[in-house]
Structure formats: structure tokens, C-alpha cells
Amino acid sequence: QNPPTADTLPGVPVADISATGPGGAPVQQAMDLMREHGPVFVRRLYGRDTLFVGDLDLVTDLADEQRFAKHIGPGLENVREFAADGLFTAYNDEPNWAKAHDILMPAFALGSMRTYHPVMLKVARRLIASWDRDARAGRPVNVPDDMTRMTLDTIGLAGFGYDFGSFERAEPHPFVESMVRCLEWSMTRLARVPGQDYSVQDAAFRDDSAYLARVVDDVIAARTGTDQSDADDLLGLMLTAEHPADGTTLDTANIRNQVITFLIAGHETTSGAMSFALYYLAKHPTALELVQREADELWGDQADPEPTYDEVGRLTYTRQVLNEALRLWPTAAVFSRQAREDTLLGGRIPLRAGQSALVLAPMLHRQPVWGDNPELFDPSRFTPEAEAERPVHAFKPFGTGERACIGRQFALHEATMLLAMLVHRYRLRDHADYRLTVKETLTLKPEGFTLALAPRTCAD
């Protein structure tokens, strides 16, 4: 179905960006356009129109599963070039989506996090060992790079029993470099100038995506040759679990697509969320003190605490900090919805069946429902009382409906535990007086954010 165009959407403002293109930061450009034109507008690029929505009432409408469903827009079509029918990029009616969803769902129920907890802790310790070395040497740490090492090793080990060994490498694992280039290709391909030659970029992309597939084949081979193929992690489920309805298992090609999908979806976004949380803590001493106090209450002066699964559930303020970081910078910043039937979005914007709208989460998260000063970092927005009073669709960092993030609990458990361990152990010094620059590679990260570390005791 053709996208809705400005001509079919009377009364919706149009912003034509063809003169400049979206540059390297399409999300932040769309945020600026929304500030200028209001919470629903059409962005026109070389004659292609995209409907952007940040308005709470309209997003609430788009979240209605009876009338709208996930849309695989041009961005995700590009990601499909290397993740195909993996969960994230599968079409709603593609049989492999429901099949993999049903098979893998139990692995992401809240209770399953107990299984992953020891591995998450093991990798958190790797990060701490590396940060201890940096602190002793007086070297600042590159926060997003190290968070990416941590989250990649965690999903590799917890999901697939595969060790990327990222902390033993001076440079990011080549998988990460290839993956980031594939994501960048997916993003910049959206802004191609008609008539220009992009064969060099496309050839580089093909090399990178072939490399990703080779790494994934290694991950699978490392498992299938052993007697561990029925281990109860994600890969074990993918290789052996039968669908409850028809007893079939996932086919080999689909397993490869799922492993690529989970390695990507399972680490880029979480590492960005952790990095933004640390950025805000470094800039907000009062919030930092409250997270430290929460960690101190659990672990006191212990030099090497052993956080338990249940303790992570008690880190409620730390969780609020993460939520507030995800409010300001939801690291998967947009998701797309399509009309199931011809309809009027918000009772006024006509959409035909199949036509789509892009939810711009960072702007939804700055709507009037968030108060007078939405730019202010304030974790008290996520107390249970405040949450109970707010409309449910005001906060959407994990998407919506049946295609919402399957890994949400996984990400929150991993990030909450690590954040608390880090503030318990280190004094965070914003030595470079860092000014936030958000880098976009389909996901968001604070670019070049470094911290200097010093050991801390409860009294600090």
C-alpha cells in the first residue's frame, strides 16, 4: 500500500527536507521539525512522504491493536536485507513470526530472568575488572564502547552460550563493527539522492552482512556439534523446541535470522540506554546520590557484592533512573504502525488500509502530559504513584502491542543490576565536561561520552 501523502492528509503540515536531506541525524531532525510544526506532520524527502506522530491521543489510537498493527516500513525493509524473517523484521502474517514468537516467549517471561542472572553478573564483573584497570591507570573510560562490550557478551553468553570476549579486545569485536555499518547502511539508504551511484556502499554492505552470517553460523556450529544442543537458553529452544500447536521446530534459515536478530536487538539498544543513564547521573548529583544510597542499603561497604536476582527487583529508584533516561532518549526511537482497514486516525486523519504512521517516541515523551519542563531529567516521574496517574501510552520505549519488545525484562534486569553495581563501586567524574551529542545508527547513543573513575566507599 502506498504511504499516505500530504495530498491525502489535508490539514497536516508538510516539511520538505529535500534541500538538505536528513543528514546523519534523522531522528533529531524529525524532533526539531515536530517542535516547529506540531505533534503530527508529514516529512517530504525527494517526493516520498512519511507521516510522523508524537501526539498522545494519536499514539493512543495507533496502539489500538484492533485497528492498527506493526508496519515494516522502508527502514525495517532495509534491515530485512540482513535479518530477513527474524522476529524484529518479520511481516505480521509471515508464519515464522507467530511460530518463533510462541516458541521463544517463555524464554523472556519475567521468571526466566532468574536463569540469565548468573551470566549477567559474570559479564558485569568483566566490565568492572576492566574499569578497575582503567581507574588504576588514571584512564577515562569510553562509556558507550564499554556498555556495548558488556551487552554483546551478555546476549552472546546468555542467549547462545557463545563468548565474544569483548573485554579482551582493544577494539570492538568485528561483529559489532560490521553490524553498526549494516545499521548505518539501512539508515542512510533511506536518504539516497535519486540518480546517484551507491554501488560501492552496497558492495561493502554485502561483505558486512555476509560476515555477520558467518559469525552466526559459527555460533550455531559451536553448539550443534556438542551434547549441549538442548540447553535451555535461546539457541537451545530454537534448535529443539516444538511449536505447541503443530509440533514443528524452527528451520535452519530462520534460526540464523533469529540469532542475527537477537545479537543485534539484544545489545545495541540496551547499551545506549545504560550510557544515557550514566550520562544523566554524571550530570545530576542528587539523582546519583539516591541511586548510590539504594545500592549502599543492599551492599553496604562490601568490596565485591554478589547481587542476587531478588535484590535487583528491589532497586526501584535505579529502575526509575533507567526509565527516565529511556524517556528522554528512547534508544529505538521510532516504530511504525499501519491501519488494518480504512480509518480516521484520531477521528480526523484519513488512512487507507495498509497506510502507516511513524511514532516518534522521543517527542511523545516530551508531550504536555509530562509537565512544564519535559527536558528536565527527573526520575521521580516514574514513582508508582506518578505512573498510575499517567495514561498508559504516554511512555513507549519498547514499542506496543504483540510486536512490542520481547527482550524488555532482559534489558531492564541487566541494566538495573549493572548500573547499581557501578555507582556502588565508583565515583563518576565528568572530567571532560561532556556536552551531549547523540549519534544515530538507527539506534541512539551519547557519542564520545567518557568518564573518569575513582574508587568509592559508602561514605563518599
Kindly tell me which of 63 and 287 has the beta carbon lying closer to ligand HEM: 63
Kindly tell me which of 405 and 452 has the beta carbon lying closer to ligand HEM: 405
Q: Does 141 interact with ligand HEM (rule: CB under 6 A)?
A: no
- Catalytic: which of 89, 154, 261, 269? 269
Distance from C-alpha of 124 to C-alpha of 281, rounded to nearest angstrom: 19
Q: Is the dihedral of CA 318, 267, 97, 50 positive or negative?
A: positive
Q: How far is the CB of 333 from ligand HEM (least distance, A)?
A: 8
Q: Choose, by CB under 6 A, the member of 62, 113, 152, 406 that binds ligand HEM.
A: 406
Q: Does 332 interact with ligand HEM (rule: CB under 6 A)?
A: yes
Q: Choose, by CB under 6 A, the member of 397, 421, 425, 453 that binds ligand HEM.
A: 397
Q: How far is the CB of 9 from ligand HEM (least distance, A)?
A: 22
Q: Choose, by CB under 6 A, the member of 331, 343, 416, 441 that binds ligand HEM.
A: 331
Q: Does 407 interact with ligand HEM (rule: CB under 6 A)?
A: yes
Is residue 38 within 8 A of residue 13, CB to CB? The reply is yes
Q: How far is the CB of 128 from ligand HEM (least distance, A)?
A: 20
From 49-57, 296-304, 308-316, 399-407, span contacting ligand HEM (CB under 6 A): 399-407
CA 439, chain centre distance (Å)? 14
Distance from C-alpha of 249 to C-alpha of 181, rounded to nearest angstrom: 32
Q: Choose, by CB under 6 A, the member of 276, 335, 382, 395 that binds ligand HEM.
A: 335
Radius of gyration of the chain (CA): 22
Q: Does 360 interact with ligand HEM (rule: CB under 6 A)?
A: no
Contacts of 200 (CB under 8 A, 6+ apart): none
Is 269 a residue of the active site? yes
Contact pattern for ligand HEM over residues 72 through 91, marking x by CB under 6 A: ---------------xx---
Q: Burial of 381 by CB count in 10 Å (0-12 exposed, 13-18 middle, 19+ buried)?
A: buried
Q: Choose, by CB under 6 A, the member of 377, 410, 426, 449 that binds ligand HEM.
A: 410
Distance from C-alpha of 89 to C-alpha of 128, rounded to nearest angstrom: 34
Beta strands in 2-60 (DSSP E): 14-16, 40-45, 48-53
Q: Which residues of 26-52 are buried (b: 16+ CB within 10 A; e: fewer)?
A: bbbbbbebbeebebbbbbbbeeebbbb
Half-sphere exposure of 171 (CA within 13 A, CB side): 5
Give the interface size with ligand HEM as a residue count (CB under 6 A). 26
Is 405 a residue of the active site? yes
Distance from C-alpha of 398 to C-alpha of 322, rounded to nearest angstrom: 13
Kindly tell me which of 154 and 296 has the beta carbon lying closer to ligand HEM: 154
- Between β-strands 443-446 and 438-441, what pairing exists: parallel, antiparallel or unpaired? antiparallel
List binders of ligand HEM among 261-280 (CB under 6 A). Answer: 261-262, 265-266, 269-270, 273
Distance from C-alpha of 168 to C-alpha of 149, rounded to nearest angstrom: 10
Q: How far is the CB of 80 from ligand HEM (least distance, A)?
A: 12
Distance from C-alpha of 315 to C-alpha of 54, rounded to nearest angstrom: 31
From 209-217, 395-403, 416-424, 452-460, span contacting ligand HEM (CB under 6 A): 395-403
- Catalytic: which of 276, 398, 410, 449? 398
Q: How far is the CB of 224 from ligand HEM (least distance, A)?
A: 21
Kindly tell me which of 178 and 258 has the beta carbon lying closer to ligand HEM: 258
Q: Is the dihedral of CA 312, 316, 321, 324 positive or negative?
A: positive
Q: How far is the CB of 273 from ligand HEM (least distance, A)?
A: 4
Residue 450 vs residues 273, 276, 429: alpha-carbon distances, Å: 15, 12, 9
Q: Does 399 interact with ligand HEM (rule: CB under 6 A)?
A: yes
Supply the DSSP symbol for 330: -
Kindly tell me which of 67 and 101 has the beta carbon lying closer to ligand HEM: 101
Q: How far is the CB of 133 from ligand HEM (least distance, A)?
A: 27
Contacts of 176 (CB under 8 A, 6+ apart): 148, 152, 166
**Closest to 6 (Cα-Cα) out of 335, 336, 349:** 349
- On whether 405 is known to bind a ligand per the annotation, the reply is yes
Q: Does 405 interact with ligand HEM (rule: CB under 6 A)?
A: yes
Kindly tell me which of 102 and 297 has the beta carbon lying closer to ligand HEM: 102
Is 182 a residue of the active site? no
Is residue 162 within 8 A of residue 120, CB to CB? The reply is no
Binding site as annotated, residues for heme: 405
Contacts with ligand HEM by CB under 6 A lie at 70, 87-88, 101, 155, 261-262, 265-266, 269-270, 273, 330-332, 335, 397-399, 403-407, 410-411
Q: Which residues are annotated as a binding site?
A: 405
Catalytic residues: 269, 398, 405
